[in-house]
Amino acid sequence: MATVSRAKIIERLQQETITITGLRSAFSSWPFRTNPHLSRVREEVEKMLVRRFRDHLKLHTLLRGDYGLFGATWWPCAEYKELLVATRLSLWLFMWDDELDSDAGSLAQDVDQGQRYRAETLQFVTNHLGLEGFTSLLHSRNSVIQSFDYIETALRESCSVEQRKIFLKEFRFFMNKSETEQTLRLRGSVVTMDELWRYRLGTSAVRVVLAINQYCHSIDLPWYVTEDADFAELWHWTNINICSVNDLLSVKKEIAQGSAESLVPILCAELGSAQEAADQVMETVRLAVFEFDLAAKRLLARYGRDTSHRLEAFIAGCRYYCTGNLTWSMSTGRYGVHQELGTDRITISLAVDDDEEE
C-alpha cells in the first residue's frame, strides 16, 4: 500500500457514513447479561472519580462513559467485590491509555515522555502487586498511576503469586505494544495492516483483563488446561472480537481526535471505501465468534470431565467480555453511538458533530 497521510484519510472519512449490518445477530448464540449490582457499582465509580479526579480536565467525559455499566456487562456473574475490582481496573486502563491516545492525550506527541510514563507505571504496578524486580516505588505524583492503589490490595490478597505473575506478564505486553503504537503513529502516515497487528492485540488491554477472569469467577484452572494451545485460542479470538467491535463503534470518536490507527481507517486507505472497510471488519467479528466456539468445544471435549464447571465458567466469562463490550459500546457516551442493543443495522455518520466530546 502506498503511504497515505493520516490527515487526508481522516478528512475523507469525515465525509462518509458507514452502515454496520449484522453486529447483534453475530452474537445470537452467546449470552447477554447485566450484573445485579449495576446501580451499586455505578455509584461507587462515580464517587471515586469525583473524589480522586475532581480537577481532571476530562472528568465530565469520564462520568458520561458509564464504566459501571462496562463492569456490570463484562462481569455479570461476579460477586460485588470482584466486580468492583474488575471495573476499577478497566477504568484505570482507559484513563491510563487516554494520556497517550491519538492527538488528545497529554503525552501523545512525545515518545520520551511516553517512555517515562510507561516505565514508572510498570514499576509502580510491579511493586504494588508484591512482585519483585524493580526498586521500590510506593507513591507516584501522577494521579492516574497512583490510582492503581484502588485495585492492588484485592489482587495481592486474592490472587495467587502465579496469577499475579500472569497479570504482570500481560501488563508488560500492554506497555511494550503501547510504545510500538506511539512510535508508529508519530511518523504521520497511516499504518499498514501488518503494522497494526504488531501492536493492536496488546494495546487493546484485553489480555490484561483476561488475566483476572479466573479471579473474577473464583476459579483456578489446572496448568495443563491453561497451557493448552486451544486455551490460547480462546484468549486470541476474544481479543480479536473485542478489538474489531471497538474499532467499528469507536471510529467516529477516534478520527475526531485525530487518530487513524484502527481497522476502519487503515482498511479504507487500502480498499478505497469506508463501507467496504466496515464490511470486512464485520466478517472478522463473525470469524472470531466461529473460531472461539470451535476452540471451546475442543477444550471441553478434552478436559470437561475433570474441570467442566471451572472451564465452562472461564469460557462463559470470555463470551460475556465480548457481549458486554457490545452492550456498553452501543450505549456509552465515550463513543457516541447511542443505539438500541437489539438494532442489527447501525448507521454512523463520521462527520464531526458540533457537540463532539473531548
pLDDT in tens, 167-191: 999 999 999 999 999 888 888 788 9
Amino acid (one-letter) located at 303: Y
Amino acid (one-letter) located at 232: A
Determine phi and psi for 250, rounding to 5 degrees: -100, 5
pLDDT for the residue numbered 102: 57
By three-state DSSP, how is residue 188 classified?
coil
Domains of the chain listed by start with CATH number: 6-336 (1.10.600.10)
Which is nearest to 269 in space by CA: 351, 198, 186, 191? Answer: 191
The predicted-structure confidence for 235-269, as pLDDT tens digits, reads as follows 999 999 999 999 999 999 889 888 888 999 999 99
The predicted-structure confidence for 37-56, as pLDDT tens digits, reads as follows 999 999 999 999 999 898 88
Determine phi and psi for 21, rounding to 5 degrees: -110, 130
Q: Say yes or no to pLDDT of 133 above 60.
A: no
pLDDT for the residue numbered 253: 87
Which is nearest to 143 in space by CA: 74, 53, 80, 73? Answer: 53
The CA radius of gyration of the chain, in Å to the nearest whole number, is 20
Query: Residue 2: pLDDT band by 50, 70, 90 thresholds?
Result: low
pLDDT for the residue numbered 103: 57
Average pLDDT over residues 228-236: 98
Is residue 342 classed exposed, middle or buried when 0-12, 13-18 and 19+ CB atoms within 10 A define those classes? exposed
Element (H, E) at 333: none
Q: What is the pTM of this model?
A: 0.93
pLDDT for the residue numbered 1: 53
In whole angstroms, what is the distance from residue 335 CA to residue 252 CA? 7
In whole angstroms, what is the distance from residue 290 CA to residue 287 CA? 5
